[in-house]
């Protein structure tokens, strides 16, 4: 069984842990470098990216996560997690840092107040024929997809809400809340493939 981590500094940690365990993974809640050292892949949950940024530095995790990304560790980031995996941000707070890894420009809080939360059925060919039920909660969008990354999913208006680069995947929405297991299964498959 693959042993994977969920970054547990802040955010909707429990839902990711439950889904990964349901899929048969051994899951470590990662708050400290010693815990991160135990895992072969990392899920970065939704929450608040500015807080994750500060806490990951405070807990001494940011540098280890960055170097693991450089070494190709599979990671899945949802919502604030996508922000953390983006190389460049629009509408970050002053001085906000990210781990990076995805060659994209991501805009925080991209949806207006009246549509802060909404759901949509999206076709995501990389996950198969069955449409994906998506839940957006103050999510980001990817405004530019660089040469090294590729879009996995777009909204009906063309905005990019899921991207992949190697074994890094970042998505604007919350499959852990809508009972959609395929992103997490794909993540576990990549972890297993790296052996």
Instruction: List residues forming the annotated binding site for L-glutamine.
Output: 47-49, 108, 137-138
The yes or no reply on residue 108 touching ligand GLN (CB under 6 A) is yes
* CB 179, CB 62: distance < 8 Å: no
Gap between the Cα atoms of 181 and 167, Å rounded: 17
Site for ligand GLN contains 49 (CB under 6 A):
yes
Q: Which residues of 166-176 are buried (b: 16+ CB within 10 A; e: fewer)?
A: ebbbbbbbbbb
Residues making up the binding site: 47-49, 108, 137-138
Q: Which of 2, 5, 46, 77 binds ligand GLN (CB under 6 A)?
A: 46
Least distance between ligand GLN and beta carbon 76 (Å): 13
Shortest separation between residue 80's beta carbon and ligand GLN, angstroms: 4
Binding of ligand GLN at residue 16 (CB under 6 A)? no
For residue 77, state whether it binds ligand GLN (rule: CB under 6 A).
no
HEC assignment per residue over 159-175: CEEEEEECCEEEECCCH
How far apart (Å, rounded) are the C-alpha atoms in residues 1 and 131? 28
The Cα 142–Cα 61 span in angstroms is: 25
What is the closest distance, in whole angstroms, from the C-beta atom of residue 5 to ligand GLN in the complex?
Answer: 18
The residues that touch ligand GLN, with contacts defined as CB under 6 A, are: 46-49, 79-80, 83, 108-109, 137-139
Tell me which residues are annotated as active site: 79, 174, 176
């Amino acid at each position: 069984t693959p042993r994977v981590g969920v970054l547990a500094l802040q955010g909707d940690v429990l839902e990711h842990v439950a889904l990964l365990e349901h899929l048969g993974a051994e899951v470590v809640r990662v708050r400290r470098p010693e815990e991160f050292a135990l895992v072969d892949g990392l899920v970065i949950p939704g929450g608040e990216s500015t807080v994750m940024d500060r806490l990951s530095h405070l807990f001494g995790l940011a540098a280890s996560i960055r170097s693991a990304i450089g070494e190709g560790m599979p990671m899945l980031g949802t919502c604030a997690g996508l922000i953390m995996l983006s190389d460049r941000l629009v509408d970050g707070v002053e001085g906000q840092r990210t781990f990076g890894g995805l060659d994209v420009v991501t805009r925080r809080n991209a949806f207006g107040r009246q549509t802060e939360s909404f759901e949509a059925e999206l076709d995501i060919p990389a996950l198969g024929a069955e449409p994906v039920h998506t839940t957006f909660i103050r999510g980001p969008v990817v405004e530019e997809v660089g040469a090294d990354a590729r879009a996995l999913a777009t909204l009906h208006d063309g905005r990019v809400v899921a991207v992949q680069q190697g074994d890094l995947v970042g998505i604007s929405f919350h499959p852990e809340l809508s009972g959609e297991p395929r992103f997490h299964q794909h993540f576990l498959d990549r972890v297993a493939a790296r052996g």
